[in-house]
Amino acid sequence: MKMVIGLTDPMSSPAKSRNYPAWLTRWIPGAEIRILSHEHTSGDPCEGLDGIVLSGGVDVNPALYGMPEAAEITEKPNMERDAFESTLIARAIDRNLPLLGICRGMQLTNVVLGGTLVPDIERAGYASHSSTKDGDRHHEVIVEPGTRLASIVGVARGEVNSSHHQVVDRPGEGLRIAARSADGLIEALEWAEPDKRAFFQLVQWHPERMRAAEHPLTRLLVLRFAGALQRHITYEDHT
C-alpha cells in the first residue's frame, strides 16, 4: 500500500518548497505527498495520512507563547497558517501519527504543547544562526546521549545547516531536549517518555536540504520516519 505523507505548505520560494517532497520521495520511493495548508485543505487534515512532516517557514506568532510585544522583532505572522497547523499538530498527536517537525515545525509544535520561544537569537546574546546571502549557515550539534534521536542517528555530534533567528526556549509539556548547538541552543526535541508513542522528532535544522545527503542527521532520520509510516500502515490494516 502506498504511504501517504502530509506535508505542510512552506509557503516559501519554489526552490525551497520543492526540497521537501524531493527529499522524502528520494528515501521513501512511491510515497504520495499531500500538501496541507489553510488555503487548500478542508475537512479533517489528518484523514488518510500515515504521517506528517511540518515544514519551515514564517515566524510563529509570538502572542501564541505569551510574548505579543515581540511582534516588533519578528516577521509578520501568518495567523491563519498558525491556527491551521496548530489544529493539525494537536490532532496528529491525539491520533499517534508519526510526526517530523522541521525548523518552524519544531517551534510551533513546542508552542502547541505549552512551550515558549526565544523570538530573536541575536537579541538574546547569541551569534547568528540565520542564513546569509550565500545560503544556510553551518554549525555543529551535540546529540544528547540516551535519547531516541541518539538511537536513530548513531552519532554523538555532527554538522548541520542553519537558517533561523528564533529557537525553542522552554520545552513544551512532555518534551525533552535531544540535541543542542555548540553554543547551547536547543536543536532537537522529542517525547520524554517515547514508549508506546509513534515516531516524533522535532529538529531545528533543515534535513531536506543538507549538503551531505548521506549524513546520519538527515538520511537516518528520514529512514526511521519511513519505518514508522510502514508500521502505521500495518497497524491500520489489522484494526
Distances (CA, A) of 187 to 129, 151, 157, 236, 238: 11, 16, 12, 32, 36
Residues 6+ away with beta carbon under 8 Å from 94? none
| Residue 235: per-residue pLDDT | 62
Residues 6+ away with beta carbon under 8 Å from 134? none
What pLDDT band is residue 236 in, cutting at 50, 70 and 90? low
Active-site residue, selected from the candidate residues 85, 187, 190, 208: 208
Of residues 41 and 100, the one with the higher pLDDT is: 100
**CA-to-CA distance for 121 and 169, rounded, in angstroms?**
10
Active-site residue, selected from the candidate residues 38, 103, 165, 190: 103
Predicted confidence (pLDDT) per residue in 40-64, tens digit: 888 899 999 999 999 999 999 999 9
For residue 51, list its beta bridge partners.
5
**CA-to-CA distance for 211 and 202, rounded, in angstroms?**
20
* pTM score of the predicted model: 0.95
The answer to whether the beta carbons of residues 177 and 186 sit under 8 Å apart is yes
What pLDDT band is residue 239 in, cutting at 50, 70 and 90? very low
Q: What is the DSSP string of 200-228?
A: EEEESS-GGG-S-TT-TTTHHHHHHHHHH
Q: Among residues of the chain, what percentage have pLDDT more than 70?
A: 98
Active-site residue, selected from the candidate residues 38, 129, 165, 206: 206
The three three-digit cell numbers of residue 61, written as one number = 506568532
The answer to whether the beta carbons of residues 97 and 51 sit under 8 Å apart is yes
Write down the mean pLDDT value for the chain. Answer: 94
Question: Maximum CA pair distance of the chain?
Answer: 52
The three three-digit cell numbers of residue 1, written as one number = 500500500
Nearest to 27 by CA among 197, 233, 236, 229: 229
Q: What is the mean pLDDT of residues 203-214?
A: 96
Q: Among residues of the chain, what percentage have pLDDT more than 90?
A: 87
Predicted confidence (pLDDT) per residue in 122-165, tens digit: 999 988 898 888 889 999 999 999 999 999 999 999 999 999 99
| Residue 21: per-residue pLDDT | 97
> Is residue 238 predicted with pLDDT exceeding 60?
no
Q: What is the mean pLDDT of residues 11-21?
A: 91
What is the span of the domain harbouring residue 52? 4-237
Cα angle 74-76-81, degrees, rounded to a multiple of 5: 115
Domains held by the chain: number: 1
The three three-digit cell numbers of residue 102, written as one number = 522541521
Distances (CA, A) of 158 to 136, 139, 177, 183, 187: 16, 8, 16, 14, 12
CATH number of the domain enclosing 35: 3.40.50.880
**CA-to-CA distance for 45 and 42, rounded, in angstroms?**
7
Active site residue 208: yes
Distances (CA, A) of 92 to 8, 13, 85, 96, 178: 13, 27, 10, 6, 21
